[in-house]
Amino acid sequence: MSLYATQDEKKQAAAKAALKHLPKGGILGVGTGSTVNFLIDLLPELQLEAAVASSQATADRLKKLGIEVVDMNHVGSLDAYVDGADEIDRHMHMIKGGGAALTREKIVASIAKKFVCIVDDSKWVDQLGRDFPLPVEVIPMARSAVARKLVSLGGDPVYREGVVTDNGNVILDVFNLNILNAIDL
């Protein structure tokens, strides 16, 4: 029997553990997703100077807690970036972006000195892409062309209907990729 009764309790425990790896004060990069939301609720403990959000949803949640949200263009670097993952393998390769903020997440993470990833045991897999699709953000005019390329790589892309990213783009969820070597892909 699991120590935690529900998936939300696992996420909450993972968020609390991650808090110990984040610097107090300063400016923190904050990702997007259900697990990150549990962490955001704990961030007032860190007495942050400000945060850079990877999505409008994250920015709204941070602001409700009284945490100032600043534009990344006004920040040279971040002490840390914190986010969740949809899947993670033993090589620490991940599938991220199920929350449709993947492009901004990568951009914000790129200026951080440290990446803290919040995952519970349900996210660990032997092979990426077998159980969770790989999300790909695409400019709308290129959706069909990108989908054809993804098919040529062995994937089965599915347009995520009704979802438009904060960048005005669409998401293709790529099923059946069975990613053996994430770097080569």
CB neighbourhood size of 42 (10 A): 15
CB 118 within 8 Å of CB 13: no
Q: What share of the chain is helix, strand, coil (3-state, %, to 5)?
A: 30, 25, 45
Give the active site residue among 9, 49, 105, 137. Answer: 105
Cβ partners under 8 Å of residue 104, min gap 6:
32, 54, 55, 165, 166, 167
Q: Does residue 161 have an active-site annotation? A: no
CB 145 within 8 Å of CB 114: no
Active-site residues: which are they? 105
